[in-house]
Amino acid sequence: YVTSLHVIRKIQKYKGFPNMMDNVSVMTTFFLSGLHETMNYQRVLFFVTLLCYCLILLVNITLIVTIIMDKNLHEPMYILLCAICMNALYGTAGFYPKFLWDLLSPVHVISYSGCLIQAQVMYSFACADLFILSVMAYDRYVAICRPLEYHSVMSKQRVIKLVCYSWMTPFCMMGINVFLTSRLKLCSPYIAKLFCVNWIIVKLACFPAETTFNSIVAHIIIIIYIFHGLFIVWSYMYLIKTCVNSIENRAKFMQTCVPHLISLLIFLVALLFDVINMRFTSKDFPQAFQNFVGIEFLVIPPLMNPLIYGFKLTKIRNRIAGVIMNRILGVITFKTK
């Protein structure tokens, strides 16, 4: 096998890749260098990644179909759960197909437009996840602290509007950020990650002074979603305070809030690791460790959220168990005939 670096140089020479101060208009391809140190294990990684992606598709689609098909689950909490599973499918679709292709290829390249689209998908998915988790926290607050007003405050129509808002707002904000990035002049086609990240593309700019507006917009988005996180923390502090003195409220909290808290912690830890890795991680860390930290938020939350809710929420667990039992009984009946 020819080494990736050798192939990259050949392609760069053949295509006439831009030198240091060329305009971004001729920057047509990026090289992803995150897999260079794992060339000997690419086939093993391919099968492990394919298995992981298939499991993510299976558990999320199962939960989505279960909620859509069962009218008894057409309640705000389950609608929001369905939304977070759909968002997981959206985010992982922006990463896994391209990553699987790279694992079978000696050269890890992505087009300029494809790179911007991937950056848009990755972080609009992450922001939408945090927004939906915020709405779920508010839903649990209303259900436990204002139970008599619950059905008027959290009507199906309002929940659907909040879900649409949770998708459209991050998509538009990240779209503005990516559009600003597309106007920069870049001096390098090399991205030291497994996938495209808007901030890393910005750091490739030839003139750092031109990235000031990008930084301002990025920090505004970060502040907005920090407030989302603070709202979730406040709502759960209030919930815990309310539930301490009531056995009924404690039971509600353990049944419906604990899965949400676990999902939130998994998501925040995964996202925090990615941000720290992207901005502060030393090059002394092994590339494999940096890769794992970088894709953690695309592996653990999409896989664990449906499993946590599927096992913890009684209605969903009973519904899935009922479907499985009916299938088994159907197969047994068919064979006996």
For the chain, the structural domain boundaries read 26-323
pLDDT of 283 over the 80 cut: no
The distance between the two most distant Cα atoms of the chain, rounded to a whole number of Å, is 77
The model's pLDDT over 166-216, given as tens digits with 9 standing for 90+, comes to: 999 999 999 999 999 888 888 888 887 888 888 888 888 888 888 888 888
DSSP string, 287-319: HHHHHHHHHHHHHHHHHHHHHHHHHH-HHHHHH
The model's pLDDT over 286-337, given as tens digits with 9 standing for 90+, comes to: 667 777 777 777 888 888 888 887 767 777 777 777 777 776 766 666 566 6
Q: Of the ranges 81-95, 122-136, 219-233, which one carries the lowest mean pLDDT score?
A: 219-233
How many residues would you count in the chain? 337
Span 48-59, average pLDDT? 93
Four-way CATH pick for 26-323: 3.30.750.24, 1.10.1740.10, 1.20.1070.10, 2.170.8.10:
1.20.1070.10
- pLDDT given for residue 256 in this prediction: 66
Q: Of the ranges 4-8, 168-172, 180-184, 219-223, which one carries the lowest mean pLDDT score?
A: 4-8
Contact 184, 202 (CB under 8 A): yes
> What does the radius of gyration of the chain's CA atoms come to, in whole angstroms?
23
- pLDDT given for residue 337 in this prediction: 61
pLDDT band at 70 (very low <50, low <70, confident <90, very high): confident
**Distance (Å, whole) CA 113 – CA 30:** 10
Mean pLDDT rounded to a whole number for the chain: 79
- pLDDT given for residue 39 in this prediction: 64
Residue 16 region by backbone torsions, left for phi larger than 0, else alpha for psi between -120 and 50, else beta: left
Which structure tokens are listed for 58? 């299976």
- pLDDT given for residue 97 in this prediction: 92
Strand order in the sheet with 190-191: 109-111, 29-32, 190-191
Residues of the chain above pLDDT 90, percent:
17
Contact 250, 296 (CB under 8 A): no
pTM: 0.81
Among positive and negative, which fits the CA dihedral 262, 266, 272, 276? positive
- pLDDT given for residue 332 in this prediction: 66
Start-to-end CA span in the chain (Å): 57
- pLDDT given for residue 222 in this prediction: 83
The model's pLDDT over 232-259, given as tens digits with 9 standing for 90+, comes to: 888 888 877 777 777 776 777 776 677 7
Contact 45, 204 (CB under 8 A): no
